[in-house]
Structure 1
Amino acid sequence: MANTKGKVYGVSLGPGDPELITIKALKTLQHSDKIYYPASVSEKKGNSSFSLPILRELGLNDLQLHPIPLKMSYDRSEAEGAYYALFEKIQEDINQDLHVSVVSEGDISFFSTFAYLLKHLKANAISYEMIPGVPAFILAGAKSKLPICTLSDKVLVDPNVDSPEDLLKRLQENDTIVLMKVSKVKDWIADFILEHQPELFYGEYLGTDKEFITDDAEVLRDRRIPYFTIIILKKLKKDKG
């Protein structure tokens, strides 16, 4: 039987700039009793959160804010466990007639760990709503001052490139490649770009005070490329067709 008391909202924060949150998302957060946000747990660096500075900049009360501790790992079983523990807390919240928001950077349905929570909400007939937002690669397109695509251009958003050969094949098959989660390419991406000469946009921590952007592949040779990085490669017109 469906619970008709509280409600859960999956709220998109946007890519980092607090002003890029939607009006609907902001109003939802302002009227939430609790806001759960992801916080990375690292043995070397301690706890950190990309979401927390955005929430504070939006003027939300710290008493509303509750971290979801997540270890940074390609092994997603720990994230599954963290989100099941969150689900159990949310069950208690909605039984107390609370409105609860769970936030995600970018868009809530686009490479978001909210998916781990979603299956528990659906299985238990808990009422929820997902509020869309601006993904980081859309901000990257604006920062590049170039269109990501026009007319019949094919665009591939790719979080998992294994090799230069793999990337070259995908660039030949598409007009624009958006690389996310770029840890696999960081050791060779500069050489690849300099050899094949695609149009480049590179951006770190877009929309934040740590933002760095460039279109110069040489700069990337010795640069430490962080997790929150977007790379856009566009096939040059002479290579199309």
Structure 2
Amino acid sequence: MAKLYGVGVGPGDKELLTIKAVRIIENADVIVVPTAVANGKSIAYDTAKDFINEDTYVFFKHFPMGGAEQEEKIFEAFRCILKYLKEDKNVVFLTIGDPFIYSTYIYLLNYIKECGYDIETIPGITSFCACASVSNEHLVIGDEPLKILPASRLDSINDEKFLVIMKVYKNESNVINFLEKRGYEYTYIKRAGRKGQTILKKKEDIMNSCDYMSLIIARKKGD
């Protein structure tokens, strides 16, 4: 029986692809590439393209962020994937970072599972682990918890010592003001491991360097 593979390609540096991810990409019959913008570029594709065989069919699918249109596009992608699975073709769904961290792939799984097809998910290096590495900022230590959240959920922070704040684009000012008020020191990282990689620690510098592919690592001062 054909199988759907969810393959995490990491933060965008092809050298950070796992050996298993490369093997599965090389042997795929069909590769699905999600894009956040219609006819937009894909970091996941750019990361994996050197390992895609010429006879592999690749198609790009637009997945808008949120709203009724998102669900419609997800179901549309499911029907396309199902068509190829029924033809006994193995399908790879590429995701930037890890497939189970804020990924469209998650929404597809229930549809595929209901049809009885096998699914295998290949983990990828997460953006926050890549950002920690390039900035030499530790994420957590000892037995302390690490809180990972999107910038839209600052209200869920309960004085944790260690934070990773994702999806900070267009929310930079709110996030930094919040962190400074609560006594956190912070590091802003964009495009980790890719051209344009930038690491910043001052608010004014961050506000002049905003980028979609960015996040903030924060910790309570003195920790």
Q: Distance in 1 between matches of 2:88 and 2:66?
A: 36
**Cα distance change, pair 79–61 in 1 and its aligned pair in 2 (3 A):** farther
Q: Are residue 217 (structure 1) and residue 203 (structure 2) matched?
A: yes
Q: Give the drift of 1:192.
A: 4.2
Q: 1:78 to 1:224 in 2, by over 3 A?
A: farther
* Superimposed CA distance per residue, residues 17-53 of structure 1 (whole angstroms, 9 cap, x where no aligned partner): 11111111110000001110112225xxx52222221
Matching of residues 148-163 of structure 1 within 5 Å: 148-161=139-152
Q: What is the aligned-residue RMSD (CA, Å)?
A: 2.2
Q: Which residue matches 1:33?
A: 29
Match of 1:229 in 2: 214
- Verify the 8 A CA contact 1:13 1:21 in the aligned structure 2: yes
Counterpart Cα distance in 1 of 2:177 and 2:106: 35
Following TM superposition, where does structure 1 have runs of at least 4 consecutive aligned residues deviating by more than 6 angstroms?
Answer: none
1:60 corresponds, among 43, 52, 55, to 52
1:180 is aligned to: 166
Q: Which residue of 2 aligns with 1:136?
A: 127
- Flag the 1:186–1:32 CA change in 2: closer, same or farther, 3 A: same
| Aligned-partner residue type, residue 102 of structure 1 | F
| C-alpha displacement of 1:123 | 1.0
Q: Figure out how many residues of one structure are paired with residues of the other and give that number.
A: 222
C-alpha distance in structure 2 between counterparts of 1:209 and 1:28, whole Å: 26
Opposite residue 214 of structure 2, the aligned amino acid is: T
Q: Deviations over 1:182-230 (max 9, x none)?
A: 146323334445555522221112121122211223312x325222111
Q: Larger Rg: 1 or 2?
A: 1
Gap runs ≥5 in structure 1? none
For structure 2, the 5+ residue unaligned runs are none
Contact 1:171 1:177 in 2 (8 A): no
What is the aligned counterpart of 2:109 among 112, 115, 118? 118
Q: Specify whether residues 14 and 40 from structure 1 end up closer, same or farther in structure 2 by C-alpha distance, changes over 3 A only.
A: same
Quote the residue 2:41 is aligned against.
48
The TM-score with structure 1 as length reference comes to 0.83
Report the counterpart of residue 66 of structure 2 in structure 1. 74
Aligned AA for 1:142?
Answer: S
For the residues of structure 1 that align with 2:204 and 2:187, how far apart are their CA atoms? 13
Mapped to 1, the partners of 2:153 and 2:20 lie a distance apart of 38
Contact 2:184 2:220 in 1 (8 A): yes
Instruction: Report the CA distance shift for 1:160/1:210 in structure 2 as closer, same or farther (over 3 A).
Output: same
Query: What is the match of residue 94 of structure 1?
Result: 85
**1:125-176: CA deviation from partner (whole Å, max 9, x where unpaired):** 111111111110011111221321111112100114456xx37xx262x111
Moved more, 115-124 or 139-148: 139-148
Identity of aligned residues (%): 26
In 2, Cα distance between the equivalents of 1:11 and 1:189?
31
Cα separation, 2, equivalents of 1:219 and 1:160: 19
Tell which deviates more after alignment, 119-128 or 198-207: 198-207
Amino acid at match of 1:40: A
Q: So what's the TM-score if we normalise by structure 2?
A: 0.89
Are the structure 2 counterparts of residues 219 and 156 from structure 1 closer, same or farther at C-alpha, using a change threshold of 3 Å?
A: same
